[in-house]
Chain A
Amino acid sequence: MQGMMPLLIVALLVWAGVFLFILAVDRRLSHIERIVGKLSIENDSSQDKETGVQ
């Protein structure tokens, strides 16, 4: 079992790197979703004002 320790540490480090990367991408995407959602709503309401839709 002792011989497996270095392999386990490498595997855990690789997994930690992959996990944190995916988590960071997920967070960033949530942020972009909020911005794009806000822009779309603003755009829709300004177009409604232009066309006179209540």
Chain B
Amino acid sequence: MATFGKLFLGVWIALVLVATFLWLPSAVPAAAGGVFSSPDLARIIILHLPNSMVVIVAAFVSGWYALRYLTRGRDPVDDIRSKTSVALAALFCVLATVTGSVFARVEWGAYWNWDPKQICIFLLLLIYAAYFVLRAGIEDAEKRASVCAVYVLFAVVMTPMLGYVVPKYMATQSLHPKNTQFDAAYSWTLLAAGAGFIGLYAWLQNIAVRADLVRMAWEEYQCKE
């Protein structure tokens, strides 16, 4: 990513924060027929939803590289790209859980309510944690990459299932409002935040892959020495 792109990303996310806290109107209070008991702090959602967007994007990127690894000549670089993307999906999943917990405390009175969506994101975190346990448990590099690539394909299917389909269509009771209609200001700020967070993910992915490639090159150099 060029220096201009990085600086642009920094300014972009700063502007999203300014818009979130200063430009966005407060949500409709519960007393006036809205769904939020603390309308001013409902804007936390602008920092919560983009994390979930990134989890979905990162999961699909990791799945794409896992598929490439399995079908196109078992290139170790594809395995590295898939692994770093899973790590970032897990990181943004943790961020979504933390920001969601703060939102739940403010709006529903407790950090954790065992709401279907919260249970689903917890299961998703376990699925990502299992990936790293699996990775750590296999010594042979080629076997590890193959087994993990297959597991990533399973995780990719589970991510939208647990993040979207199950809580939206299968849960009968949930604190999360269904069919939420955001007004234009919230929708645009959410889109801008989503674009910024996806840009941040792309930058982190680039750094993590480069770091792994440097480690590989260094190990190769030491072997030759």
Contact = CB atoms under 8 A, between A and B. Distances in A.
A11 B20 CA distance: 10
Q: Chain B binding site: helix, strand, loop or mixed by DSSP?
A: helix
Given A22-B204, A23-B6, A25-B207, A40 B13 contact: no
B154 interface: no
A8 B221 contact: no
Contacts of A15: 10, 13-14, 17
A19 B10 contact: yes
Interface string A31-54: 011001101100100010000000
Interface residues on A, range: 20 to 34
A40 B207 contact: no
B99 to A, nearest CB: 11
A43 B22 contact: no
B168 to A, nearest CB: 29
B68 to A, nearest CB: 23
A26 B208 CA distance: 9
Q: 7 nearest interchain CB pairs?
A: A8-B21, A4-B21, A19-B10, A11-B17, A36-B217, A36-B214, A36-B218
B73 to A, nearest CB: 22
A9 to B, nearest CB: 9
B210 A33 contact: yes
B178 to A, nearest CB: 28
A8 B24 CA distance: 12
Contacts of B13: 15, 19
Interface string A1-29: 10111011001100110010011011001
B14 A36 contact: no
Given A4-B21, A29-B214, 12 more contacts: A1-B22, A4-B22, A8-B20, A11-B20, A11-B47, A12-B18, A26-B203, A36-B217, A36-B221, A39-B221, A40-B217, A43-B224
